[in-house]
Chain A
Amino acid sequence: MAHNGTVSADLASTDTPAPPPSPTPPPRPPRRGLTSIEALALLLVFGLTARPGLTELFAAPLAQAWAARFVAVCVQAFPFLVLGVALSAAIAAFVPADFFHKAVPKRTALAVPVAGVAGAVLPGCECASVPVAGALVRRGVAPAAAFTFMLASPAINPIVVVSTIVAFPGDPRMVVARVAASLAAAVSIGWLWARLGKTEWLRLPEHRHHEDGRWAAFWAALRHDFLHAGGYLVIGAAIAASLNTLVPETWLAPIAEDPVLGVLALAVLAVLVSICSESDAFVAASLTQFSPTAKLAFMVVGPFVDVKLAAMQAGTFGRRFAIRFAPTAFVVAVVASVLMGVLLL
């Protein structure tokens, strides 16, 4: 292997000026007394002293595997999160408030499918679309349309379509089925929200108003949204890494034989493993024991709801929203995949 336990011995001489902090959950600063900057300083000192023990703790193969997966999900997701929060900050700071009133159709029933098709233009993973949807809602776009955009964009954007074509060579029906099922499910969920959704379930984190001009507002929104959504992303990444490392793959084999259980199993797997939508087609293609419909369900459910996304949605829109939205999205996505599987595959 490339490194042993002494990997970051050269830390002090690298481009990270501050010494590293400790891995333990940081103590919450009490109201008075310890300020966050002092807490951070204490953590840095503690982290430095605890390092030898830390290296030992993570020397076990299981812990190494967990840490590699956790860091991998974070490193892969951070750039897309930065893209997403930069876009959402730009929407908040630079797009005039009345722009979306003009651009989005007045009737929600019509705005939802328009938002679904518009999802094809944001070339990012689901990590980017959650903060963008938050910014749209804040800018006065009907939540139903914003949610449809949030769901459709990671599922049908050009990068995802191309990667699906590559992963399933000589099988264009799988690509058509994926796009159709994702779009249909995203639009259905938008319409469902328009009929049944309640605004009081939503709790968007507050943005402060800035009098210092648009750029100040842009940088403040970028900083705030990254710290906020990033924290929730870390929770999701930790859960996904744990499940990936601890749930043995042998459990899947007997389930794959059953057509109904197979679909459900891969749908649940998509929720648990939280793979980026840009690459889930390759993973789906390698699950050869399962039926095509089960693979389709894996690719339709994944961008809609997974543990990483649910954590981020809870952070962006509030917990009361997330506990209703995630199960609904799961059910609708599974139904859409089964219907499309029966029709096309």
Chain B
Amino acid sequence: MRRDAQAIVLLLVGGGLIRLAWTGDYLNYVKPYALWLILPAGVILVAVAAITAWSVWRAKEGADEHDDGHGHGEPKVAWLLLVPVVGMLLVAPDALGSYEAERTGSAIGAEEGRSSYPELPDGEDPVPLPLLDYAARAIFDEGRSLEGHRIELRGFILYSGDEPQLARMVVSCCAADARPVKIGLEGALPAGLEPDQWVEIIGVYSPRQGRDEINGALVPYIEVESITGIATPDNEYQ
């Protein structure tokens, strides 16, 4: 690969990272804090591209025509860097949703060792909770801290068999390790809940528990008072 072509590849990779940071689409792939990793990395790559382009231009200006930008057996494998560029800029896949969640076991087990379940605020009604927090309180604390509160949960719909569930993908590092938290729905449900539809559920703790067929993890339930469709949040992961 010639050095001028290398400069373009570096520019595309760096520019792709900066674009993800700029548009906020990086939240489909990594955690929010990663913004402070991908932005500097993108800037550095664009700088390397600029310096490479400048040195190629300078070499062409100079009388010495020997160094005209041709690489000396430079890495052919660098061509592969165009594949993630296509992924970032052209394909731009959505965040993982119900398709993945239906094929992966609930990640509730990660919370098993948790020891403290602080009281929920009395002033708020309903109390918004992350799904994983609700599930951990429901299963490992037997719902003690949930009783007497109305809870608000936000997630997407998925189907376990023909039973609708509420789910959210939990990401530790990047979307490649995304695992769902699933919560069963009890009570009167509106018909026609579509998979991947984002909803806000207000309800109260239900002692009922089920099991995830995939990994045998416990699935807590919530007694549904209302389901409202909401817009897809910027950060679909938790």
Residue numbers of A with Cβ under 8 A of B are: 1-3, 7-8, 11, 14-18, 20-23, 25-26, 28, 35-37, 39-40, 43, 47, 51, 54-55, 58, 61-62, 64-65, 67-76, 78-80, 82-83, 86, 167-171, 205-206, 208, 216, 219, 222-224, 226-228, 230-232, 234-235, 237-238, 240-241, 244, 248-250, 252-253, 273-276, 278-279, 282-283, 285-289, 315
Contact = CB atoms under 8 A, between A and B. Distances in A.
B223 to A, nearest CB: 26
A68 B175 contact: yes
A39 B6 CA distance: 12
B86 A22 contact: yes
Interface in B1-60: 1-2, 4-6, 8-13, 15-20, 22-23, 25-26, 28-30, 34, 37-38, 40-41, 44-45, 48, 51-52, 55
Contacts of B8: 18, 37, 40
A8 B28 contact: no
B41 to A, nearest CB: 4
B30 A14 contact: no
Interface stretch (B112-120, B122-130, B146-154): B112-120
A51 to B, nearest CB: 6
B155 interface: no
B45 A226 contact: yes
Given A25-B79, A37-B5, A78 B41 contact: yes
B91 interface: yes
Enumerate the 5 nearest inter-chain pairs by beta-carbon distance, A residue then B residue, closest first: A288-B109, A279-B173, A231-B77, A72-B175, A227-B78
Nearest to A78: B41
Given A86-B44, A208-B72, A227-B75, A2 B95 contact: yes
17 contacts: A8-B89, A72-B30, A76-B176, A78-B38, A79-B38, A82-B45, A86-B44, A169-B113, A206-B73, A224-B75, A230-B78, A235-B77, A249-B103, A276-B174, A278-B173, A288-B112, A289-B216
A154 B16 CA distance: 27
A39 B176 CA distance: 32
A241 B91 CA distance: 15
Contact of B19 (A15, A68, A283): A15
Interface string B84-96: 1111111111111
A258 B157 CA distance: 35
Contacts of B191: none
A285 B236 CA distance: 22
B177 interface: yes
B2 A35 contact: yes
A23 B90 contact: yes
Contacts of A74: 84, 87-88
A264 B67 CA distance: 53
A249 B9 contact: no
B107 to A, nearest CB: 4
B188 interface: no
B110 A15 contact: no
Contact of B55 (A216, A241, A288): A216
B137 interface: no
Contact of B110 (A18, A64, A83, A285): A285
B2 A37 contact: yes
A22 to B, nearest CB: 7
Given A15-B22, A21-B86, A249 B215 contact: yes
A226 to B, nearest CB: 7
Given A2-B25, A279-B177, A289-B215, 14 more contacts: A22-B82, A26-B79, A47-B90, A54-B90, A61-B99, A67-B93, A71-B93, A72-B29, A75-B29, A82-B41, A170-B115, A227-B75, A231-B78, A315-B77
A37 B68 CA distance: 13
B179 A286 contact: yes
A291 to B, nearest CB: 13
A198 B83 CA distance: 35
Contacts of A8: 89-90, 92
Contacts of A3: 25, 92, 94
Given A36-B1, A231-B80, A273-B177, A75 B97 contact: no
B216 to A, nearest CB: 7
A54 B91 contact: yes
A181 to B, nearest CB: 20
B29 to A, nearest CB: 4
B232 interface: yes
Q: Find the residue from A3, A40, A75, A78 having the highest chain B CB count within 10 A.
A: A75
A278 B33 CA distance: 13
B66 interface: no
Contacts of B13: 78, 230
A36 B81 CA distance: 14
A80 B38 CA distance: 9
A18 B11 contact: yes
A71 B95 contact: no
A82 B75 contact: no
Contacts of B220: none
A64 B84 contact: no
B160 to A, nearest CB: 14
A235 B176 contact: no
Contacts of B15: 15-18
Nearest to A67: B93
